[in-house]
Chain A
Amino acid sequence: TQLLEQSPQFLSIQEGENLTVYCNSSSVFSSLQWYRQEPGEGPVLLVTVVTGGEVKKLKRLTFQFGDARKDSSLHITAAQPGDTGLYLCAGILLAAGNMLTFGGGTRLMVKP
């Protein structure tokens, strides 16, 4: 069982559709990061959220940190084939020192 559960694990959609992926835990995080990983490459940071209830936007991507800092969501508007990749959330747990824990990831495919 992972400390950070991501859902869905796989998502295949058509270009232009909207989607939301979730990152949930029963533990409180001091901060949470979202990364995107493309095949054959390492993850690349998209955003860091720190404050409960915080919302950050990155073009068509909207990130939200839950009020209790136990969960986060990533919403993509009008998905494009270039959004295809593995989306990973990663958090620093308050109760576990300074360890960074990754979720299992959501593998997104956007078809043209």
Chain B
Amino acid sequence: DAGVIQSPRHEVTEMGQEVTLRCKPISGHNSLFWYRQTMMRGLELLIYFNNNVPIDDSGMPEDRFSAKMPNASFSTLKIQPSEPRDSAVYFCASSNLGLANEQFFGPGTRLTVL
């Protein structure tokens, strides 16, 4: 069974450009999470969805970040416009029944904004 799938695995873009990260959660999981990981700040929860509905987006750093989950098998995290300080590894994770249960992480997208 495939795990969480993220694309692209690596993204290099220039400041000001729009960046879209994609995630396919594990089939049957009803919760999806977006995280950002940097050396300075560690792993930060940006937003999570239950049954395709955003539950808590308090971790989203600013209005340049937006996330959608149009259906149970797909989510996007968009940064527009991107800035060099957005450079990080972005992880998507999915689980059953919210935060209390095991989260299965994807391989991450390494984003570099020049």
Q: A residues near B, CB below 8 A?
A: 2, 30-31, 33, 40-45, 48, 88, 90, 92, 97-105
**Chain B interface size range:** 20 to 34
Q: B residues near A, CB below 8 A?
A: 4, 33, 42-45, 56, 58, 91, 93, 98-100, 102-108
- Which residues of chain B have C-beta atoms less than 8 A from A44's C-beta? 105
B56 & A42 in contact (Cβ 8 Å cutoff): no
Q: How many A-B residue pairs have CB under 8 A?
A: 52
What are 13 A-B pairs with beta-carbon distances under 8 A?
A2-B42, A31-B100, A40-B107, A41-B107, A41-B108, A42-B91, A42-B106, A44-B105, A48-B102, A98-B98, A100-B45, A102-B43, A105-B43
Known contacts A31-B100, A40-B107, A45-B102, A99 near B43 by CB under 8 Å: no
How far, in whole Å, are A92 and B33 apart by their CA atoms in the complex? 14
Known contacts A42-B107, A43-B105, A102 near B44 by CB under 8 Å: yes
Q: Which residue of B lies closest to A47 (CB)?
A: B102
B45 & A103 in contact (Cβ 8 Å cutoff): no
